Amino acid sequence: MSNTLGQLTATEIAAALQRREMSAREVAQAFLDVPDTYGAFLHVDAERTLAEADAAQARLDAGETSPLLGVPVAIKDNISTQGRPTTCASRILEGYIPPYDATVISQLHGAGMPLLGKTNLDEFAMGTSTENSAYALCKNPWDPTRSPGGSSGGSAAAVSGGLAPISLGSDTGGSIRQPAALCGLVGFKPTYGRVSRFGLVAFGSSLDQIGPFGQTVADVAALSQVICQTDGLDNTSLPDAPLGAMDLANASVKGKRFALPRELMSDAVEANVRASIEQAIRTLEAAGATVDHVDLPSLSLGVSTYYVIAPAEASSNLGRFDGVRYGAREEAPGHVESLMATRGKKFGHEVKLRIMVGTYALSAGYYDAYYLRAQQIRGLMVAEIDALWGEYDAILSPTSPCVAFPLGGFSHDPMALKLMDFCTIPANMGGYPALSLPCGLADGLPVGLHLMGPVRGDERLLELAAGVERALGCAPLRPPRA
């Protein structure tokens, strides 16, 4: 890819296409030509991508001015794509090609955005490092010996590594925002219900949300306007899902109030990350913002609550994968034996672990002690957070307690890996919009600043994030090139 194109953001590429400085085919071909040395993609169909680019160019030539028309996009491989494989990085869906598009894919087609391919992830989106993929190890473009985060690590690595200008991931407990932080990107999880989940392979149905990765807040805001739509095929879709007007160009933090929970800036946050966050806070305060420390005691229970609710929902959702209706199948003498062999051999260790934990939490005699109790704590957490919105514009914290960690660094301590989501989980618990954006480097690796706003406050949060981005001056943040 030419150096000039490689340095452009998605919105800059869109503007260049509108000015006819390049064609949609040239843009798509340039990204397809970048070698995938990071394991970011699982499936690429270059011929189909270029055909979609040609169709987008015809619309450009006809005078259409859709905001991202002709800009190619990468898609996490747990989002259904008609005629393209959707494997969820699992052997149990090896060779599966959906007969329909997810709603967000139909929306991307409607916006004229060519699909570059399907990106790597932790199997069924269950993980924090993208090391649980059944097909390929995914690496961080900032340091290929380190993880890009997870579960949407492939979507993050694709944008950070210059293989795509923009991408879609999914977020159940931080799976967009944590990889964005570790790869130096902006990652946005909209309010639950503002993006259709129809065609997203379900993990935790009350937690899952599709959202974008980009190099800037403007990038993710533009893609959010494409995918935030009401959908009759998703009964959790909000009737007021479309995003309203936003003024990102004039956004400022002056006079804005941020709450910083002490529970999210504890000793669990590594010193170098904490130092970067503290410097970012000083910069925001110098620009006219106010940052107050607050207490939200229930946040200390967020991880344990999440790891009851999410596996319980996963246990139910993954019951459909039996090797009978779709996907791979292990043959055995009888139906039960075949089912056991298929699920036993085709599911990976982490997926089987979460299914068992979730099944146990839902079983007779344990439902009240675990699942019901977790839902009660979830309600308490939401009540504590909601009490802040009358006084504060956003809740601020680190996104990840550490920078990108070495691949395999948590292989002997998987619990420590799960604990890394404690800053991001609360947003999923309450369905809040939340965003991670770069706030600097620590030891040469990106640090993410996390912002969370009230339900349906997506537009305000994106405007606020644009003001923070301008005050900090850290985006776009690109890895060093060899």
Q: Maximum Cα–Cα distance for the chain, whole Å?
A: 71
Q: Are 238 and 268 in contact (CB under 8 A)?
A: no
Cα–Cα distance, 6 to 222 (Å, whole number): 19
Smallest CA-to-CA distance from 208 within 222, 221, 196 is with: 196
Residue 408, phi then psi, degrees to nearest 5: 80, 0
Enumerate the β-bridge partners of residue 61: none
Question: What ranges in 326-457 are assigned the alpha helix state H?
Answer: 335-346, 349-362, 373-386, 414-418, 425-430
> What is the DSSP secondary structure assignment for residue 228, as one 8-state letter?
B
Name residue, tokens 């001056």: 473
Cα–Cα distance, 209 to 206 (Å, whole number): 9
Q: Tokens for 94, please give them.
A: 């090896």
Q: Are 215 and 188 in contact (CB under 8 A)?
A: no
- Sheet strands (E) in 135-206: 167-171, 186-189
Task: Count how many residues are written for the chain.
Answer: 482
Name residue, tokens 């007779």: 364
What is the rounded end-to-end Cα distance, in angstroms, of the chain? 14
- From residue 213, give the alpha-carbon distance in Å to each of 20, 93, 179: 25, 25, 9
Query: Is 316 an annotated catalytic residue?
Result: no
Smallest CA-to-CA distance from 159 within 189, 134, 125, 182 is with: 182
Coil, helix or strand at residue 18? helix
Query: Is 151 an annotated catalytic residue?
Result: yes
| Helix or strand run (H / E) with residue 434 | strand 434-442
Q: Is the peptide bond before 85 cis (omega within 30 degrees of 0)?
A: no
Cα–Cα distance, 326 to 92 (Å, whole number): 9
Active-site choice (90, 106, 129, 151): 151
Smallest CA-to-CA distance from 315 within 204, 399, 171 is with: 204
Q: What is the CA radius of gyration of the chain?
A: 21
Cα–Cα distance, 221 to 429 (Å, whole number): 23
Q: Are 187 and 180 in contact (CB under 8 A)?
A: yes
Active-site choice (80, 133, 160, 175): 175
Query: Is 205 an annotated catalytic residue?
Result: no
Cα–Cα distance, 89 to 97 (Å, whole number): 13
Cα–Cα distance, 407 to 146 (Å, whole number): 5
Residues involved in catalysis: 76, 151, 175
